[in-house]
Amino acid sequence: MITRFIIAAAVALFFTPTMSNFAQEHPEHPKKTEGKNKGEHPQKGEGKGVSTAEISTGIKKHISSESKNSSDKKFHVNHEGKDLALDLVRVHDDRLSSLGEGKYFACVDMKATDGTIYDIDFFMSGKPGDMKVTETSVHKVNGKPLYNWKEEGGVWKKVSG
């Protein structure tokens, strides 16, 4: 009986570090880190911080508006020379970030008509209720990253996946 318990505990401990890696869906997305951006841009004038709910609302509003304006009612992204017609699956509310200086980051999952899931990264700027998307890129295709994020001197940059 004790031998079974010891074996079960050893197996559980063996898999514990691996399982925590699977639980981290997007550890490579950019996030503002306090103090690291101080020399990069002036911090005055930022005022009240923008909540993740406001960022989420901003990206949903953008996707909805773009979809309504397209002839097929889909959100369109250019990827590797192809026009992808996509439907919103979910916004990664745990990955929304205020990057400071009126800039924000959002990550969403979108689905193509063929069933392919695309993880799309959005950068936005502006004030709550009036955010504009400044950059859109396909980050993952069916969970496989095309690039990762690395912070260099307080600035997040894309690096090869």
Predicted pLDDT at 78: 94
Tell me the average pLDDT across 125-135: 85
Residue 13 lies in a domain: no
58-95 exposure pattern, b = at least 16 Cβ within 10 A, e = fewer: bbeebbeeebeeeeeebbebebeeeebbbebeebbeeb
pLDDT of residue 26: 43
- Residue 20 inside a domain? The answer is no
The answer as to whether 149 is a domain residue is yes
pLDDT number for residue 107: 94
Residue 155 within a domain: yes
Quick one: pLDDT at residue 39? 29
pLDDT for the residue numbered 156: 75
Examine residue 23 and state whether it is found in any structural domain, yes or no.
no
pLDDT value of residue 97: 87
Q: What is the count of structural domains for the chain?
A: 1
Beta strands in the chain (DSSP E): 75-79, 82-91, 97-100, 103-112, 117-127, 130-141, 144-145, 147-152, 155-160
| Residue 70 falls inside a structural domain | yes
Task: Assess contact for 124 and 135: CB atoms under 8 A.
Answer: no
Is residue 110 a part of any domain in this protein? yes
Domain encompassing residue 68: 30-41+48-160
Instruction: Check pLDDT > 80 for residue 3.
Output: no
What is the reported pLDDT for 21? 38
The residue that leads in pLDDT, 89 or 101, is 89
The per-residue pLDDT for 109 is 98
Is the pLDDT confidence value at 54 over 70? yes
Q: Is residue 76 part of a domain?
A: yes
Question: Which residues does 60 contact at the CB level (< 8 Å), separation at least 6?
Answer: 88, 91
